[in-house]
Amino acid sequence: MKILLIAAALALGSGGAIAGPDEAMNKAGCMACHAKDRKLVGPAFKEIAARHKGQDVVARLVDKVRKGGAGVYGPIPMPAHGADKISDADLKAAVESILKS
């Protein structure tokens, strides 16, 4: 029985979206430019959450991360981040987590 549980856990672990949003954002490199409560190169997650409070913007922000962009929070552009950096499921979970900041 233990072997079956271990095998199932390993199989699930290789699927992608098991890590928490913080771990996924660290792995994807988000934290190189963003912090939870202070501006670095990009805006603080709390600033993003405050700007979009009460809005249904998860899909729009996921698209923004995928495509990149500039001009929203300052002159430094955010590069595009493809699925090779962060899976769709992890990106959606990360955006949802940021919006709860």
pLDDT tens for 45-92 read: 999 999 999 999 999 999 999 999 888 899 999 999 999 999 999 999
Tell me the pTM: 0.79
Assign 3-class secondary structure to the chain: CHHHHHHHHHHHHCCCCCCCHHHHHHHHCHHHCECCCCECCCCCHHHHHHHCCCCCCHHHHHHHHHHCECCCCCCCCECCCCCCCCCHHHHHHHHHHHHCC
Q: Class for domain 19-99, per CATH?
A: mainly alpha
